[in-house]
Amino acid sequence: MSPFIEITNSSPFLQFITALLVGIIFGIALEQAGFSSSRKLAGMFYGYDATVIKVFFTAAITSMIGTQFLQYFGLLDMKQVYINHYYVYASIVGGVIMGAGFVMGGFCPGTGISALSIGKIDALFYLLGGAFGAFLFGEFYPKLDKLAMAGYKGPVKLSESMGINDGVFIFLVILIAIGMFWLAEKAEKRFARPDINTEY
């Protein structure tokens, strides 16, 4: 019912080939979206380029609807799929640190790798910094483990916490996304910076 279980149990080789292929599609999507450009990504936070929100939310909606369809056709058992565990403080504090890093460096890790793949040297520095960040976290972990573990709620779903059915929840997310797309299109017109916002 869920192909990944067969893949995991069959051979590591098959598993890694699948990972590589999924990664290639991931890489093509990010680069074609223009996420290999830090100035395009940073535009999100200064209003002149809202590609980030458009791509991000379209991807989120596509995958949400996709998992619903796969379940409906009996092709995927969501009980076997990993649901992110919710650690209240770690999610919030970690997210705030990531946001600061985003606006400093102009990338997130995935888009940094995307930019490196087409030869951006600043992305190489970003990823070296990223490796240093992972190293630092390991070094400081004894002081951070309390924060990392605090407020553990388990693999909770927002739809369940809100007491609504997954389909209704996804419909609400789509409505919110459409509102944000409308705002994004308006913002790009209002804060347009033709001097910055060309093809890089």
In this structure, are residues 76 and 67 in contact, taking their beta carbons and an 8 Å threshold?
A: yes
Task: Tell me which of 103, 168, 175, 183 binds another protein, using CB under 8 A.
Answer: 103
| # residues contacting another protein (CB under 8 A) | 134
- Other Cβ atoms closer than 10 A to 31: 16
In this structure, are residues 146 and 140 in contact, taking their beta carbons and an 8 Å threshold?
A: no
Instruction: Give yes or no for residue 165 binding another protein (CB under 8 A).
Output: no
Instruction: Give yes or no for residue 125 binding another protein (CB under 8 A).
Output: yes
User: Per DSSP, what are the bridge partners of residue 87?
Assistant: 152
Amino acid 116 reads: L
4-23 residues near another protein, rule: CB under 8 A:
4-5, 7-8, 12, 15-16, 18-23
Task: Tell me which of 9, 10, 74, 80 binds another protein, using CB under 8 A.
Answer: 80
Nearest to 64 by CA among 49, 86, 81, 85: 81
Closest contact distance (angstroms) between CB of 175 and another protein is 15
Task: Tell me which of 11, 72, 73, 108 binds another protein, using CB under 8 A.
Answer: 108
Task: Tell me which of 63, 72, 178, 186 binds another protein, using CB under 8 A.
Answer: 63
Task: Tell me which of 10, 11, 117, 186 binds another protein, using CB under 8 A.
Answer: 117
Instruction: Give yes or no for residue 132 binding another protein (CB under 8 A).
Output: yes
In sequence order, the 6+-apart residues with CB closer than 8 A to the CB of 130 are 109, 112
Instruction: Give yes or no for residue 196 binding another protein (CB under 8 A).
Output: yes
Question: How many residues are present in the chain?
Answer: 200
Instruction: Give yes or no for residue 156 binding another protein (CB under 8 A).
Output: yes
Instruction: Give yes or no for residue 59 binding another protein (CB under 8 A).
Output: yes
Kindly report the three-state secondary structure assignment for every residue of 53-119: HHHHHHHHHHHHHHHHHHHHCCCCCHHHCCCCCEEHHHHHHHHHHHHHHHHHHCCCHHHHHHHHHCC
Closest contact distance (angstroms) between CB of 141 and another protein is 4
Instruction: Give yes or no for residue 61 binding another protein (CB under 8 A).
Output: yes
Instruction: Give yes or no for residue 91 binding another protein (CB under 8 A).
Output: yes
